[in-house]
């Protein structure tokens, strides 16, 4: 009769680096924002403030440009009745000039908003 077979002996396999120092995970800005930490709140409020400043500047520029037209008509009475191609100047300016001004203001806003967001993304990604 033969001796009963013994199960194979268990062997514990370990990494040779178990004694090495573990790497700390970097706290990136996106992680701070995702986890809604205080630092993430500061990042987001900074982005929102930058976008608000841009929006107010563009609105102010458009308002001064378009709001200055009635002031022009008030201060220079000859412009109220000055015909250009048979159309009174106020009608021409208010009917035609408004659209390019609004379009240019919108283009300026979009271009600068994209720049701000790109800089923010680059900054947060590096942190």
* Secondary structure class of 99 (helix, strand, coil): helix
Q: How far apart are CA 104 and CA 65, in angstroms?
A: 12
Which residues are registered as beta bridge partners of 33?
none
Domain boundaries, the chain: 29-126
**Which among 38, 28, 25 is positioned nearest to 125, based on CA atoms?**
28
CA dihedral 100, 102, 106, 112 (to 10 degrees): 90
What is the C-alpha end-to-end distance of the chain, expressed in Å?
Answer: 72
Q: Given this model, what pLDDT does residue 40 score? A: 80
Q: Is the pTM above the cut of 0.95?
A: no
Within the chain, strands assigned E span 83-84, 87-88
Going residue by residue through the chain, which has 127 residues, state the pLDDT in tens, using 9 for 90 and above.
666 788 888 887 777 766 555 555 556 777 777 777 888 888 889 999 999 999 999 999 989 988 888 898 899 998 888 888 888 888 888 888 889 989 999 999 999 999 999 999 888 876 5
DSSP type of residue 20: S
């Amino acid at each position: 009769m033969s001796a009963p077979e013994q199960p194979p002996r268990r062997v514990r396999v370990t990494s040779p680096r178990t004694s090495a120092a573990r790497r700390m995970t970097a706290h990136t800005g996106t992680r701070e924002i995702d986890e809604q930490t205080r630092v993430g709140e500061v990042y987001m409020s900074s982005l929102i403030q930058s976008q608000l400043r841009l929006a107010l500047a563009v609105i102010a520029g458009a308002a001064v440009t378009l709001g200055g037209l009635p002031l022009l008509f008030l201060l220079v009475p000859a412009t109220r009745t000055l015909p250009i191609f048979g159309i009174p100047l106020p009608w021409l300016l208010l009917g035609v000039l408004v659209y390019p001004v609004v379009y240019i203001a919108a283009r300026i806003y979009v271009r600068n908003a994209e720049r701000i967001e790109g800089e923010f993304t680059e900054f947060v990604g590096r942190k």
